[in-house]
Every structure is written in structure tokens, then in C-alpha cells.
């Protein structure tokens, strides 16, 4: 039987790829779903009351199941998008309307990402897919954050978030994360297709998007002091971003919102107080100057990274930067202000400081809790590798299990520009200088 199946596949598939299908059984689906972090919605939607197009497909290997899981996430996101649209008339005020409108757009971005992955014409690497899925998930979280931050979470939000799209996306992230890069979604896809220095998947319209500035942009970002990085997609959260290239981000709370996707900052000056570099992108800051200011409530937190899922590619990497006091903080009463490198905005917050100069302003504990609670202390990942300067001693650091003094170069290398944001595949074409390794 197995031999015949194999033979049939061999003979038939090349000729009837899209029409000859075997379909899957409920037991098969149960078995595959059990390998995901959220088996219940997986089974629920793929077995009984599901769209017959999934059931018509056979699952011979993991990539088949990943494809069905992606289709399912996309279809549920489409249904949820329609649901959100239909709720528009229920907005009671302008704030709700703003949050609602963002959610409509954020779901569109998520659907767009999933369609792009499912499009047989798209070329990508397994790493690209993981980055896009990470961003797709971040969009849903940002939708929720909008209602919470505007203080209007009681009316529409419960109706919007009680779908299973987040769980279904987590499943795709888990399935793709150990896909090992060996099986592809599309036979014709292969690794590293790049043309004219751009990955071939960057369409003309997306190149335009790369230059846009939007609060929910999904584009890769390059920012450099000399202006050579012309893609300065940052966000509404940044006030007064210079439009002509000399990149300095000056603010107090929440200065620089690194929302999603791959981002690279080189030789930038960043000023702020509370959570001044925050968000859920895969962001590397290289050769930057980070200046903490004198804050009203006497506590600074330089980063607040917002990863919500262990399998997301996101994190904030501070590489070969200088962290010091802005003039107003230098002038403050010594010891009156505590400055921390970061605090966990979300459950899987991930931030690493590498080869950086940490001035004496850094508190010996170095990392701060979120709102004095034990939130995320075991799930976050905070690391320090080969930093120098009076604030760099790790002797009195926090003792959380998620905190790591990294001494192993191999471990640190996963946070290099080459590995963390796949820099070689997209930075050369921007002509921004970068160090590929740490
Ligand atoms: C979400 O999935 C669960 C099964 O895990 C199901 O009972 C529930 O009805 C689903 N919710 C929606 C809105 O489809
Ligand atoms: C599917 O339907 C069968 C029979 O109607 C039922 O026993 C089973 O619980 C259902 N499974 C799900 C995931 O809804
Ligand atoms: C992450 O992916 C792994 C498989 O690669 C899976 O076992 C794990 O449950 C996933 N974690 C989450 C939080 O989804
Ligand atoms: C760039 O910004 C600087 C300072 O704001 C200004 O003086 C200069 O004229 C700007 N250059 C261009 C080309 O817009
Ligand atoms: C400092 O004040 C800001 C609001 O201005 C607040 O968001 C932040 O959590 C405060 N930080 C601490 C550590 O209390
Ligand atoms: C901080 O914790 C207090 C007490 O648990 C709570 O009332 C408050 O809402 C929390 N604030 C934030 C921003 O999480
Ligand atoms: C970690 O440090 C805190 C105080 O900073 C202390 O109360 C706690 O016992 C320590 N935990 C461990 C496991 O050492
Ligand atoms: C460093 O980490 C790598 C990968 O985790 C491991 O194989 C290697 O043995 C480690 N080296 C040292 C010196 O601990």
C-alpha cells in the first residue's frame, strides 16, 4: 500500500499537481494538530464545520500541514476582518473609532502577509516566513494595545479579540520555526532569490511602502545618520523625525516605536526617558548613542520590548553603542535618578546589549520589573555580552531566570546583524555601512 501510494505520487503529482488530491482523515488532523501549541482551535476548524477546501488536501508531510494552517489562519482573519468592519457603527466616540480603525488596517496587514506567504509566486526563505508571521501576530497585539492605551477596552475589544486568529497564527509560527528550512511550501520556492540587491519579493508597491511613514507599517527599516538609509519607516510615535536624513530621535516617554519587521539603525542619536525604544520589531541598533534624560518620576527605562510569543523573531539588539546621560540628567542631583536598560512590556520581551559602553548612570540591577510585578520575569530574555564602562559590571544584576550574562560567543552570535536580521540579504543595497558580525 505504501509502495503504491509512493508510486502514485511519483507518477501523478508532476502532471496533476493541483487537481489530484487525496484529502485527510479526522484522525490525521488530530495527530497533526496535537503537534501545535493550540490543538483545540486547530482541530475545531479543520475537522467538522470547516471549509471543504482544507479537507480536500492531503497531508503527507509537515509543509502540507503548515500550508493548510496558514490558509486556515488567513481565512479566520478574513472572517474577523469582516466582523470588525461590521462593528464600526458601534463606536461610541472618537477614541473608539480611532482604535477600531487601526484594527481594521492591522487585520488587513496580517491578511496581506499571509496571502504573500501563500502566493506560489512569492520567493522567500524560512527566515522570511518566520519574520512575516511574527509581524502578522504583532499586528493583532497592536490592535488590542490600541484599545487598552486609549482606555476604551470595555466595548468593542471583547467582541474583536475573542476569535482564534492569534492561536492559529501561533500554530503557524511553531510549525514554521522547526521546519528546519528543508521543506518548502511551494516546490518552486528556493532560498535567497535576490535581484538588483533587493530580495525579489520586494514588489514595486512595497518599495514605495518602504519609504512611507505609517504607524502600522510592515516594511523593513534602515536608518542611518548620514542619510544613506532612505527608508525611515518609523511611526507616529516619533515626533519630528527629520525628513532629510540626519537621524536623531528625541523624545521623553516612548520616543522610538520599532513596531514590526526587520529594522536596522546605524549611528543614530536617541534621547528619552521611559521605554524610549519600544515595540516588537527585529531591530538592531549599531554604533548609536543612547542618551537618557532627567525623567519626571526619577526612573528611566531605555527599552520596553514587546514580544508576545516565544517563536517570534523579534527583539531589540543594542550593538556597539554608547549609553550615557543627556546634559539635563548629568546636571541632576547624583543618585536621584535610576536608569535601567529595559523592562518587559510583554511576556517574551527580548533585549540584548552587546559590546556597548554603559556609563555610570546604569543601575547595578540593570533591568527593571514592569509595574513592580513579577510579570514575564521567567519568560523574558535579557542578555549582556562584553559590555564595558562603569555601568557594565554584572555582579549585582537581577536574578531572574530570563536574565543571561552571555559569555559564549556562539550564543552571542545569534544576535549579530547577519543572523538576527539576515543583514546580508537586504542591507548591502541600502549602502548603509554595517558590521555583519558582533
Ligand atoms: C475558538 O476555538 C474554540 C475551540 O478551541 C471554539 O470552541 C470557539 O468557538 C472558537 N471561537 C470562535 C469565535 O470561532
Ligand atoms: C466532530 O464531530 C464529531 C461527531 O459529530 C464529534 O464527536 C467531535 O467531537 C467533533 N469534533 C470537534 C473538534 O468538534
Ligand atoms: C514554539 O515552537 C515550538 C516548535 O518549534 C513549539 O513546540 C512551541 O510550543 C512553540 N511555542 C509557542 C509559545 O507557541
Ligand atoms: C535638513 O535639515 C536641516 C536641519 O533641520 C536643514 O537646515 C536643512 O535645510 C535640511 N536639508 C534639506 C535638504 O531639507
Ligand atoms: C514613570 O512615569 C510614567 C508615566 O509618566 C509611567 O508610564 C512609568 O511606568 C513610570 N515608571 C515607573 C518605573 O514608575
Ligand atoms: C500597575 O499595578 C497596579 C496595582 O496592581 C494596577 O492598579 C495598575 O493598573 C498597573 N498599571 C499598569 C500600567 O499596568
Ligand atoms: C532574587 O533577588 C531577590 C531580591 O532582589 C530576592 O528576594 C530573591 O530571594 C532572589 N531569588 C533567588 C532565587 O535568589
Ligand atoms: C558555546 O555554545 C555552543 C552552542 O550552544 C556550544 O556548542 C559550545 O560548547 C559552547 N562553548 C563553550 C566554551 O561553552
Find the range with the poorest average confidence among 98-102, 124-128, 182-186, 230-234. Answer: 230-234
Instruction: Count CB atoms within 10 A of the CB of residue 327.
Output: 10
Please state the φ and ψ torsions of residue 290, each to the nearest 5 degrees: -115, 120
Please state the φ and ψ torsions of residue 274, each to the nearest 5 degrees: -100, 125
Which ligand number lies closest to the CA of residue 176?
A: 3
Render the burial of 166-204: b for 16+ CB within 10 Å, e for the rest: bbbbbbbbbbbbebeeeebbbeebeeeebeeebbebbee
Instruction: Indicate if ligand 2 lies below 6 Å from the C-beta of 44.
Output: yes
Render the burial of 276-315: b for 16+ CB within 10 Å, e for the rest: bbbbbbbbbbbbbbbbbbbbeeeebbbbbbbbbbebbbbb
DSSP state of 307: -
**Can you state the percent helix, strand and coil of the chain, rounding each to 5?**
35, 20, 45
Comparison of pLDDT for 304 and 227, the residue scoring more: 304
Instruction: Indicate if ligand 4 lies below 6 Å from the C-beta of 244.
Output: yes
Judge whether residue 402 has pLDDT over 50. Answer: yes
Find the range with the poorest average confidence among 78-87, 97-106, 140-149, 200-209. Answer: 200-209
- Kind of pairing between the strands at 282-286 and 315-319: parallel
Judge whether residue 231 has pLDDT over 70. Answer: no
- Given this model, what pLDDT does residue 246 score? 57
Comparison of pLDDT for 225 and 32, the residue scoring more: 32
pLDDT digits 0-9 by tens, 339-396 = 999 999 999 999 999 999 999 999 999 999 999 999 999 999 999 999 999 999 999 9
- Mean of per-residue pLDDT scores for the chain: 82
The CA 21 to ligand 2 mean position distance, Å, reads 24
Q: Where in the chain is the domain with CATH 1.20.140.40?
A: 22-177
Q: Full-prediction pTM beyond 0.85?
A: no
Over residues 264-269, mean pLDDT: 92
Comparison of pLDDT for 223 and 46, the residue scoring more: 46
Report the nearest-CA residue for atom 14 of ligand 1.
163
pLDDT digits 0-9 by tens, 92-102 = 999 999 999 99
- Given this model, what pLDDT does residue 397 score? 98
Q: Which atom of ligand 3 is nearest to the CA of 310?
A: 13
Comparison of pLDDT for 85 and 51, the residue scoring more: 85
Q: CA-CA distance, 413 to 408, in Å (whole number)?
A: 9
Q: Does domain 217-430 have CATH number 2.160.20.10?
A: yes
- Given this model, what pLDDT does residue 178 score? 75
Q: Which of 34, 41, 73 to mutate to test the pocket of ligand 1 (most atoms within 8 A of CB)?
A: 41
pLDDT digits 0-9 by tens, 288-322 = 999 999 999 899 999 999 999 999 999 999 999 99
User: pLDDT grade, residue 220 (50/70/90)?
Assistant: low
Report the nearest-CA residue for atom 2 of ligand 2.
48
Reported CATH class of domain 22-177:
mainly alpha
Render the burial of 133-161: b for 16+ CB within 10 Å, e for the rest: bbbbbbbbbbbbbbbeeeebbebbbeebb
Find the range with the poorest average confidence among 48-62, 219-233, 249-263, 389-403. Answer: 219-233
Which ligand number lies closest to the CA of residue 313?
A: 3
Find the range with the poorest average confidence among 91-100, 248-257, 332-341, 389-398. Answer: 248-257
Half-sphere exposure of 287 (CA within 13 A, CB side): 14
- Given this model, what pLDDT does residue 433 score? 92
Over residues 129-139, mean pLDDT: 95
- Given this model, what pLDDT does residue 250 score? 80
Q: Using alpha carbons, list the distances in angstroms from residue 246 to 268, 270, 314, 363.
A: 8, 12, 26, 31
Q: Where in the chain is the domain with CATH 2.160.20.10?
A: 217-430
Comparison of pLDDT for 227 and 282, the residue scoring more: 282
User: pLDDT grade, residue 181 (50/70/90)?
Assistant: very low
Amino acid at each position: 500500500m505504501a509502495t503504491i501510494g509512493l508510486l502514485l505520487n511519483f507518477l501523478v503529482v508532476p502532471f496533476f499537481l493541483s487537481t489530484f488530491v487525496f484529502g485527510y482523515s479526522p484522525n490525521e488532523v488530530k495527530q497533526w494538530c496535537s503537534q501545535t501549541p493550540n490543538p483545540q482551535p486547530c482541530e475545531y476548524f479543520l475537522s467538522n464545520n470547516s471549509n471543504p477546501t482544507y479537507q480536500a488536501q492531503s497531508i503527507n508531510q509537515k509543509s502540507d500541514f503548515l500550508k493548510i494552517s496558514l490558509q486556515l489562519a488567513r481565512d479566520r482573519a478574513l472572517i474577523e476582518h469582516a466582523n470588525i468592519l461590521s462593528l464600526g457603527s458601534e463606536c461610541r466616540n472618537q477614541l473608539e473609532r480611532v482604535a477600531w480603525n487601526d484594527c481594521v488596517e492591522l487585520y488587513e496587514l496580517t491578511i496581506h502577509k499571509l496571502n504573500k506567504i501563500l502566493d506560489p509566486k512569492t520567493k522567500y526563505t524560512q527566515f522570511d516566513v518566520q519574520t512575516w508571521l511574527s509581524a502578522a501576530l504583532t499586528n493583532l497585539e497592536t490592535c488590542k494595545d490600541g484599545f487598552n492605551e486609549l482606555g476604551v477596552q470595555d466595548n468593542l475589544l471583547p467582541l474583536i479579540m475573542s476569535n482564534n486568529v492569534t492561536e492559529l497564527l501561533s500554530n503557524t509560527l511553531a510549525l514554521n520555526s522547526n521546519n528546519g528550512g528543508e521543506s518548502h511550501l511551494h516546490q518552486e520556492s528556493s532560498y535567497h532569490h535576490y535581484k538588483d540587491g533587493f530580495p525579489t519579493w520586494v514588489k514595486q508597491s512595497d518599495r514605495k511602502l518602504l519609504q512611507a511613514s505609517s504607524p502600522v507599517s510592515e516594511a523593513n527599516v534602515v536608518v542611518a545618520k548620514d542619510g544613506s538609509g532612505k527608508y525611515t519607516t518609523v511611526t507616529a510615535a516619533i515626533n519630528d523625525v527629520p525628513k532629510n536624513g540626519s537621524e536623531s530621535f528625541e523624545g521623553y516617554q516612548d520616543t522610538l516605536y520599532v513596531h514590526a519587521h526587520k529594522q536596522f539603525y546605524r549611528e543614530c542619536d536617541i534621547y528619552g526617558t521611559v521605554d524610549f525604544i519600544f515595540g516588537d520589531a527585529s531591530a538592531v541598533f549599531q554604533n548609536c548613542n543612547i542618551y537618557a534624560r532627567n525623567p519626571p518620576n526619577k526612573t528611566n527605562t531605555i527599552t520596553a520590548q514587546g514580544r508576545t510569543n516565544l517563536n517570534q523573531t523579534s527583539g531589540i539588539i543594542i550593538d556597539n553603542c554608547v549609553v550615557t546621560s543627556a546634559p539635563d540628567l548629568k546636571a541632576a542631583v547624583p543618585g536621584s535618578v535610576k536608569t535601567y536598560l529595559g523592562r518587559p512590556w510583554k511576556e517574551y520581551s527580548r533585549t540584548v546589549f552587546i559590546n556597548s559602553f554603559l556609563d555610570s548612570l546604569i543601575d547595578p540591577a540593570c533591568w527593571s520589573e514592569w509595574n513592580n510585578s513579577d510579570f514575564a520575569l521567567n519568560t523574558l530574555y535579557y542578555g549582556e555580552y562584553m559590555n564595558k564602562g562603569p555601568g557594565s559590571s554584572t555582579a549585582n544584576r537581577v536574578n531572574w531566570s530570563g536574565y543571561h550574562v552571555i559569555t559564549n560567543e556562539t550564543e552571542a552570535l545569534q544576535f549579530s546583524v547577519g543572523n538576527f536580521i539576515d543583514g546580508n540579504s537586504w542591507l548591502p543595497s541600502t549602502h548603509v555601512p554595517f558590521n555583519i558580525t558582533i
